Amino acid sequence: MKKIIALLLFPFFVLFAQNGEELFDMKCAVCHIKTRPTSQMKDSLIAPPINGIVKNLKQAFGDNKDATLEFIVSYTLEPSLEKAKCKTDAIQRFGVMPSQKESVTQDELKSIANYMYANFPLQR
C-alpha cells in the first residue's frame, strides 16, 4: 500500500520541482545567474549568483530549512537593508534588491524557494 501511495505522489513532486525551476528561470534568473560565474562574467553581474546566496543563507540560518524558505519568500516580496543577510560588499555593489511583489506571488515563491533550497549550493 505504501508503495502505491509513493508512486501516486511521485509525479506531483516532480511537477513541483520543475515548476519551481521554471518560475525561477522566468522571474529571477534575469538578475541571479544559476551557474558559478567565470572571472570574465564577474564584472558584468547585476546581482549575486543564486549559488552564493543560498550557501550564505544556509549558513546564516544554520540549516534550518523552514526559516530559510520563509526568509526567501518574505525578502523577495519586501527586501530591506535591515533584513538582508547578504554580505555587506554585495549590498554595496548591487544595492538592495527591488521588491518582486509585482511579478511573483507568495505561492510561486514557495515553489521557487523549495527549488533553490534543494538545488544549491552546487556540489562541484
* Residues of the shown chain interacting with ligand HEC in the complex, contacts defined by CB under 6 A: 27-28, 30-32, 47-48, 53, 56-57, 72, 75-76, 79, 84-86, 90-91, 94-98, 100, 104, 112
Least distance to ligand HEC from the beta carbon of 36, Å?
17
Q: Are 108 and 100 in contact (CB under 8 A)?
A: no
Query: CA geometry: angle at 101 spanning 113 and 24, to 5°?
Result: 35
- Residue 49 near residue 33, CB atoms below 8 Å: yes
Task: Classify residue 42 by its DSSP letter.
Answer: H
Query: Grid cell 523549495 — which residue?
Result: 114
Q: How far is the CB of 42 from ligand HEC (least distance, A)?
A: 15
Instruction: Pick between residue 13 and residue 25 the one whose CB is nearest to ligand HEC.
Output: 25
CB nearer to ligand HEC: pick between 34 and 85: 85
